[in-house]
């Protein structure tokens, strides 16, 4: 078999030839190959499977992409304060609107103002 013939072989055939060849190896070579394989496996870092609900592509948290991790507590606190301020502002606005509607109603009702003041 020439080098050109090897390239024509399919991978399955190559694997078969290698298996046949390995059976012809002597004990010392087999032992050396076995030890080399074991050493290679030991060096390989083992990753324990981690259970996550998110897919592997979403491993990085979305918040980390938007805001640096160190700034997140500050941003969260600021957003909380902003929500409180905006909420209070909206509540005050609604209250003021109600007061305004009541004032107009009292000032224009067919009942005299004294009916509600006294």
Residues making contact with other proteins (CB under 8 A):
67-68, 70-71, 74-75, 78-79, 81-82, 85-86, 89, 92-93, 96, 99-100, 102-117
CB of 100 to other proteins, least distance (A): 4
CB of 61 to other proteins, least distance (A): 16
Cα separation of 92 and 80, whole Å? 18
Cα separation of 39 and 43, whole Å? 6
CB of 111 to other proteins, least distance (A): 6
Cα separation of 79 and 85, whole Å? 10
Cα separation of 91 and 21, whole Å? 84
Closer to other proteins by CB, 33 or 113: give it.
113
Q: How far is CA 25 from its chain centroid? A: 50
CB of 54 to other proteins, least distance (A): 24
Q: Are 80 and 71 in contact (CB under 8 A)?
A: no
Closer to other proteins by CB, 42 or 69: give it.
69
Both tokens of 72, joined, read 């997140």
Closer to other proteins by CB, 40 or 115: give it.
115
């Amino acid at each position: 078999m020439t080098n050109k013939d090897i390239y024509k072989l399919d991978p399955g055939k190559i694997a078969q030839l290698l298996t046949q060849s390995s059976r012809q190896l002597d004990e010392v070579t087999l032992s050396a190959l076995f030890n080399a394989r074991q050493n290679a496996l030991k060096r390989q870092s083992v990753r324990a499977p981690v259970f996550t609900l998110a897919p592997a592509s979403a491993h990085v948290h979305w918040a980390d992409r938007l805001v640096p991790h160190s700034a997140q507590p500050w941003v969260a606190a600021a957003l909380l304060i902003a929500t409180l301020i905006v909420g209070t502002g909206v509540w005050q606005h609604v209250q003021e609107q109600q007061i305004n509607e009541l004032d107009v109603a009292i000032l224009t009702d067919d009942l005299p103002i004294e009916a509600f003041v006294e």
